[in-house]
Amino acid sequence: MGIFNRISDIFKANVNDTLDKAEDPEKMLKQMVLEMEESVNKATLAVANGIANEKSLERKLAKSREQSNDWQQKAMQALQAGREDLAKAALEKKAVSDRNVADLEPIHTQAKATSDKLRQQLDQLKNKLEEARSRQSTLIARSQAAKAQKEIAQSFSGVGSDAFSKFDKFEGKIEKLEAEATAFEQLSGESTSLDQEFKQLSSSASVETELAKLKESMGQLPPSNS
């Protein structure tokens, strides 16, 4: 029965090993189920050997009982034939068979109890294996969901935020360039307007001078008071 204790230890060790190496849970869970299947196969072989031993003892016990009955019948047959010597010899053989029966009965009883218990333990082990198989996909899905949740949480907690900060910084630089361009456009526009006004002023003065000369040549200027 030590094999079942060892298998139980393997189950526990596999679970702990899977938790420690959770970086690839799907692979680890599949490996764990494979090791469970191997352990169940070994246990099945051990149970089969136990049952075979019990059946062998059962056959030997039945044969010894049959031989005892057979020698009993022969002893009775010898007495009926008046052969007391043969009857004694038959009874001696019967005594040997009876001793075999007495020796085999407790051994067979213990072997049967052991094989029955091994059957029950093997059934429990198979049930655990089936449970592990059915929960395998669920555990993998839970692990993947937990991993995704962890990655999202890390993103919000600042892990991997360099790209976002760089993006914001680059956007700030563009906004600064846009503001500078707007300012230069405004300054450039003011300078152009001012130059234009001065040009217009000079042009107006020149026109007035030319107009006065023209009026003077045509005698249209008012007479001077001096």
Pick the last residue of a domain from 160, 184, 201. 160
Regarding whether 151 and 114 lie in a shared domain, the answer is: yes
pLDDT at 54 over 90: yes
Please report whether residue 225 resides in a domain. no
Q: How many domains does the chain have?
A: 2
Give 184-226 pLDDT, tens digit per residue: 766 665 556 666 766 676 666 676 777 777 777 777 766 666 5
Give 4-30 pLDDT, tens digit per residue: 555 555 555 555 555 555 557 778 888
Q: Residues 57, 104: contact at Cβ < 8 Å?
A: yes
Regarding whether 166 and 151 lie in a shared domain, the answer is: no
Regarding whether 146 and 165 lie in a shared domain, the answer is: no
**Among the listed residues 67, 61, 43, 45, the one whose alpha carbon sits nearest the alpha carbon of residue 110:** 61
Please report whether residue 19 resides in a domain. yes
Which one is predicted more confidently, 188 or 144? Answer: 144
Continuous H helices in 81-161: 84-156
User: Quick one: pLDDT at residue 146?
Assistant: 79
User: What residue numbers bound the domain in which 202 lies?
Assistant: 161-218
CB atoms inside a 10 Å sphere around CB 108: 21
Q: Residues 7, 43: contact at Cβ < 8 Å?
A: yes
Please report whether residue 72 resides in a domain. yes
- Mean of the pLDDT values across residues 128-147? 81
What are the φ/ψ torsions at residue 161 (nearest 5 degrees)? -90, 0
Q: Is the pTM of this model over 0.75?
A: no
User: Quick one: pLDDT at residue 52?
Assistant: 93
pLDDT band for position 1 (cuts 50, 70, 90) = very low
Give 89-136 pLDDT, tens digit per residue: 999 999 999 999 999 999 999 999 999 998 998 999 899 888 888 888
Regarding whether 94 and 61 lie in a shared domain, the answer is: yes
Q: Residues 126, 40: contact at Cβ < 8 Å?
A: yes
Residues 155, 148: Cα–Cα separation, whole Å: 11
- Mean of the pLDDT values across residues 1-5? 54
